[in-house]
A and B are shown apart, each in its own frame.
Chain A
């Protein structure tokens, strides 16, 4: 091999390196994008049952009086949460399309002011796309002084195109303590 073909080879290696670096940057960028992509994907498909964490727009698709769907409330407090947290109603029968309001009550049983956030989960996860929250206390942190009581609402609508085989939804809220800013 002469020096000319050697030079061609070195150029080839350099060119390959640039391509590979570009590919590497591509996979790094893809990795960085995976988290927001996952969030968008979850919001679109309801894959993880979290639903959307901001107010949604009412759907005026009419009320399906023929169907009854039971909405079940489950409240939980996470470890370290010295609050009492309960739903006023444990379950409610609704017609898809109707707008409903449910009340939750929380009280700080501790000796100091605390802050908490309710993390929602809807089961079955497929239903979360049909469960529209027009207003929810879970959109924001709640702050309560020692002994303070707070009653908070969730205003929701179940879309009337809810799949036929769903008869019961469970809406679970877990109250997690929040520290930091």
Chain B
């Protein structure tokens, strides 16, 4: 164990010395996918942001070298122990004016490229497609506007890896069950909002970071150049599992994207078929447990005990374990609860999944109500009358 730490310390020290002694681009070439600096990214904007970052970084380095150089030289040169005698000057209008003016000029030089880049970032015109991104405690929801495709994107790292019972995988905490799939060479407008608290959607490789604010819609855009998988995280503290709601963007060719879209629609149709048939208790319980562990266990815990008072227990609760609670139970899962982390799942999960998870909750954790909720009942409840 100590050996591994030592190794990592050495590794980190090595990295740090690299940044001190070489240009980061060089470092990137030496070390492949360096994680010492901002990623250059895969969009025109991200490259522009990267070069802006590097310009400012080097200006700051030069300023630091000059200021600290004079300072340390003075410290060494004018030591009292070496017999230095203090001079008596204590002001000089010209010098003072000069070192007010020079920083001002440097700042103006920095502001010019920054302004130009910012203007480009704000130009959302001529987007070819729109994706609505909604932050939930603690998962992202993506909706392809006008395409009738929408889904949740959940952390897929198994809890065993987090607790340390299993070896951590390569993309530990940065992997999801269903990534946001986007076509390359396409200007995509991203609309952001939130279901509960403020979240922030960040993918470093795209240089896109924007807050998702409840009740408000923000927008941003991206145009990815290279197919690949780009990972990011929520960057605004959003409660308990803020560190556990990653973002994965999968950029594919335009043809593959169309293929993926039709697959999604087909899958939706298959899911819909599941909504039509009668389910057995055993099937509902199996399906329900998997849905529960993905969507509910983060708050209500795997054993249904919750974390009161913020996240109430389901085991033995009025809503989940009594006959009177049945209707409320269904409503809560379908529509959520106002002012709490309990989100509405009615418009985003299939009727079969909802039926299964409610059935599971009413029969697991010692609730043993024996209730079976069929997808048909959920469908009926969700369907507006014509």
A and B touching (C-beta < 8 Å)?
A: yes
Do B335 and A123 touch across chains, with their CB atoms under 8 A apart? no
The answer for the CA separation of A168 and B193 in the assembled complex, in Å, is 18
The answer for the CA separation of A165 and B215 in the assembled complex, in Å, is 25
What 1/0 mask marks residues of chain B from 125 to 159 whose CB sits below 8 Å from any chain A CB? 11100101010000000000110000000000000
Do B125 and A165 touch across chains, with their CB atoms under 8 A apart? yes
Interface residues of B in 329-353 (CB under 8 A from A): 331, 334-340, 342-344, 347
Question: In the complex, how many angstroms separate the beta carbon of A65 from the nearest chain B beta carbon?
Answer: 20
- Which residue of chain B is the closest to A84 with respect to CB atoms? B384
Do A149 and B384 touch across chains, with their CB atoms under 8 A apart? yes
Question: In the complex, how many angstroms separate the beta carbon of B141 from the nearest chain A beta carbon?
Answer: 10
The answer for the CA separation of A168 and B125 in the assembled complex, in Å, is 7
Do B337 and A79 touch across chains, with their CB atoms under 8 A apart? yes
The answer for the CA separation of A32 and B239 in the assembled complex, in Å, is 29
The answer for the CA separation of A170 and B193 in the assembled complex, in Å, is 12
What 1/0 mask marks residues of chain A from 116 to 152 whose CB sits below 8 Å from any chain B CB? 0001011110000000000000000000000101000
The answer for the CA separation of A76 and B192 in the assembled complex, in Å, is 12
Interface residues of B in 194-208 (CB under 8 A from A): 195-196
**A79-B196, A123-B218 known; A165 vs B123 contact (CB < 8 Å):** yes
Of B189, B214, B215, B336, the contact of A80 (CB 8 Å cutoff): B336
**A79-B335, A123-B191 known; A170 vs B385 contact (CB < 8 Å):** no
What 1/0 mask marks residues of chain A from 85 to 126 whose CB sits below 8 Å from any chain B CB? 000001100000000000001010111000000010111100
**B381: chain A residues within 8 A (beta carbon):** 109
Of A82, A90, A121, the contact of B216 (CB 8 Å cutoff): A121
Do A79 and B338 touch across chains, with their CB atoms under 8 A apart? yes
What is the interface of chain B mostly: helix, strand, loop, or mixed?
loop
B327: Cβ under 8 A from any A Cβ: yes
Do B334 and A49 touch across chains, with their CB atoms under 8 A apart? no
B217: Cβ under 8 A from any A Cβ: yes
Q: Please tell me the number of chain B residues within 8 Å of chain A, measured between CB atoms.
A: 38
Do A80 and B335 touch across chains, with their CB atoms under 8 A apart? yes
**B336: chain A residues within 8 A (beta carbon):** 78-81
Do B193 and A76 touch across chains, with their CB atoms under 8 A apart? yes
A166: Cβ under 8 A from any B Cβ: yes
Do A81 and B331 touch across chains, with their CB atoms under 8 A apart? no
A155: Cβ under 8 A from any B Cβ: no
Interface residues of A in 141-181 (CB under 8 A from B): 147, 149, 165-168, 170, 172, 174, 176-177, 179
The answer for the CA separation of A107 and B383 in the assembled complex, in Å, is 10
The answer for the CA separation of A38 and B195 in the assembled complex, in Å, is 24
**A107: chain B residues within 8 A (beta carbon):** 384-385
**A49: chain B residues within 8 A (beta carbon):** 216-217
Of B145, B196, B337, B344, the contact of A90 (CB 8 Å cutoff): B145
Give chain B's interface residues, CB within 8 Å of chain A. 123-127, 130, 132, 134, 145-146, 189, 191, 193, 195-196, 214-219, 327, 331, 334-340, 342-344, 347, 381-382, 384-385
